[in-house]
Amino acid sequence: MSAGSGLVRNDLILREMERELHDLCQPLTKLQCGLELGQMCGDEASLMEAVEGALVETATLFQGIGVMRERLVREMGRGVDGSEADGD
């Protein structure tokens, strides 16, 4: 693989990661808003609903981060030219 194609591959990886980070903003925003609404209402039912929603959104965030982590580990195992790096 040429140096130019390695740069293209890196650019594609960065664009994918940028999209994935952007996609993490939606559940993070939902998490924050839900907790703030629960706090504003202040009653026990609203707070419990906010916590339950926060747990769901946290699981979504962890899933997205896990995908990104797997890709990063995979890409770090590749050489500059895109081939698998030696374990030595």
- Whether 8 has a pLDDT exceeding 70, the answer reads yes
Residues 6 or more apart from 35 whose CB is under 8 A from it?
Answer: 50, 51, 54
Give the pLDDT score at 14.
Answer: 86
The domain ranges of the chain are 3-76
Cα distance between residue 12 and residue 6, in whole Å: 10
Convert the pLDDT of each residue in 18-71 to its tens digit. Answer: 998 898 999 999 999 999 999 999 999 999 999 999 999 999 999 999 998 998
Q: Would the pTM count as exceeding 0.85?
A: no
